[in-house]
Structure 1
Amino acid sequence: MNMTEISNLLTPLNLEQSLGKINELYGKDAVFTTSFGLEDQAITHAIFKNNYSIRVVTLDTGRLFRETYELHRLTLDKYGKQIETYFPNASDLEPFLLKNGPDSFYASIEQRKECCHIRKVIPLDRALKSAKIWITGIRKEQSGTRGDMPKVELDVAKDIIKVHPILDWTWEDTWTYVRENHIPYNSLHDKGYPSIGCAPCTRTIEPGEDFRAGRWWWENENTKECGLHWVDGKLTPKKEMKA
């Protein structure tokens, strides 16, 4: 199927319908990447509950919260399914730390993005190496830069089709699905962390703050992204979706 056909097929479908169709068409050639956030737990549940062949993958940066590791264990215990874990390459990380130290991401945006690149982007490239479809937990409501994203798009940098099956869900929609299905979630969500990444780079948010205000809060940039969903310095735009 070409890009347009896939988009036309998946765009009107809900979460479980989208995943079911992806599983039917691609099976193990589809990869879902989870960071164990609330959105990701909802999608993981839908994949595991239906015994889909879609691979579930996570990136362990080495700097995650203790609570995130606890949730990883709880998720394995509940579903009895495999979650593939990818780590940074020692050959990339060790020279970076030797030169810059463990917390250089506070020093400049450039060093923070390099840290994210080593700990997330390079491992992600390995995880997606043989994949044909990349499923994410992105929601439009998470930030203003995601407001015009399509449900199905082409990541031109990685040359892979991306599907965001809960793109139009609200935060309340996500909580409703998690609670109704008794899905384990990160206890940090109950402590003011709506968006959870690496421990040194995530703080709680105050009432009225942007959903991702707690990520890299010391930076003045309006866009808070780690690089996983960026092409040439910006989020993959809708216009780049090609047949």
Structure 2
Amino acid sequence: MGSGNQTDYNTFTKEDYRFFNQRLHYLEAQEVIGWAYEFFGGKLVYACSFGAEGIVLVDMISRVKKDARIVFLDTHVHFQETYEVIERVRQKYPFLPIQMVQPELTLEEQKERYGENLWETKPDLCCHLRKNLPLEKALDGSTAWLSGLRIEQSPTRANTEFINKDDKFELIKVCPLIHWTWEDVWEYIHQHNLPYNALHDQDYPSIGCQPCTFPVKEGEDHRAGRWLGSQKTECGLHSRPITKKE
């Protein structure tokens, strides 16, 4: 089946997940991306955080889908370095449209409704308002979405497959980099001379919103600097189990 097929979250069976994951197991990440755009066509969206993995995926996408839809969840509290790398990516790939998806509430409106610094008092609610709800709207009408999840990033991502049933957004989630190491990511970035977030050079392997992201110590997993001092490790976009058996 190609881009005109009617496959979606509701019709993709457990046999389909098993079949395609077995088939994709032997392909390189670039080939997985090529397959995904051939299979899902314009119904595939890439939600990019513009971290190191994101830069790799943008470059790979640029080689197979010149008009791919790429969205960035602009929470309005990102690091300046993140906005700077987005501009550098736009300059490098002027043909790729990058949509800055905005939350419904401005920071001032959120403060008036929920109190000051919601990311400190109720971080899950803050993520829900500024990331989860905007992504849900951005994905409306799509069949599948791309993600840069890697198995070695954290225990919560250890069971990720190439093709996953995403019950949270009721979509098919495609993760081409699951078997890549951190060293693989940087080898690709340097080999292709790609722009990247300057914070990666300051011990920030995983970069989210500025109030909730901190550098990590040597030996810690790459998510250790997110929501430091709490049990929270995910913003909610990937927190529910992504099932592959149903």
Fold shared per TM-score above 0.5: yes
Match of 1:54 in 2: 68
2:92 corresponds to 1:78:
yes
C-alpha deviations, 1:17-69, integer Å up to 9, x for none? 01111111222110111010000100001111334443111110010000000
2-structure distance, mates of 1:11, 1:162: 16
Equivalent of 1:236, from 224, 237, 242? Answer: 242
Match of 1:88 in 2: 103
1-structure distance, mates of 2:181, 2:169: 28
2:225 corresponds to 1:225:
no
* Paired amino acid for 1:13: L
Match of 2:187 in 1: 176
Q: Which deviates more, 23-32 or 178-187? A: 23-32
Tell me by how many angstroms 1:206 deviates.
Answer: 1.4
* Paired amino acid for 1:84: Q
SS at match of 1:149: coil
CA contact (8 A) 1:32 1:55 kept: yes
Match of 1:134 in 2: 145
Equivalent of 2:205, from 190, 194, 197? Answer: 194
* Paired amino acid for 1:162: K
CA contact (8 A) 2:167 2:243 kept: no
SS at match of 1:230: coil
Match of 1:12 in 2: 26
C-alpha deviations, 1:127-179, integer Å up to 9, x for none? 11011111100001110111122221111232111011001100000000111
2-structure distance, mates of 1:95, 1:73: 27
Q: Unaligned stretches of 5+ in structure 1?
A: none
Tell me by how many angstroms 1:94 deviates.
Answer: 5.6
Please identify runs of 4+ aligned residues in structure 1 that moved more than 4 A. none
Equivalent of 1:34, from 15, 32, 48? Answer: 48
Tell me by how many angstroms 1:205 deviates.
Answer: 1.0
2-structure distance, mates of 1:25, 1:210: 34
2-structure distance, mates of 1:191, 1:142: 18
Match of 1:68 in 2: 82
SS at match of 1:226: coil
Q: What RMSD in Å do the two structures reach over aligned CA positions? A: 1.8
Q: Which deviates more, 111-120 or 50-59? A: 50-59
SS at match of 1:39: helix
Equivalent of 1:116, from 105, 108, 127? Answer: 127
SS at match of 1:90: coil
* Paired amino acid for 1:121: N
TM-score, normalising length: structure 2: 0.88
* Paired amino acid for 2:149: I
Match of 1:43 in 2: 57
Tell me by how many angstroms 1:113 deviates.
Answer: 0.3
* Paired amino acid for 1:164: C
C-alpha deviations, 1:175-218, integer Å up to 9, x for none? 00111111110000001100000001001111122211110002
1-structure distance, mates of 2:63, 2:87: 17
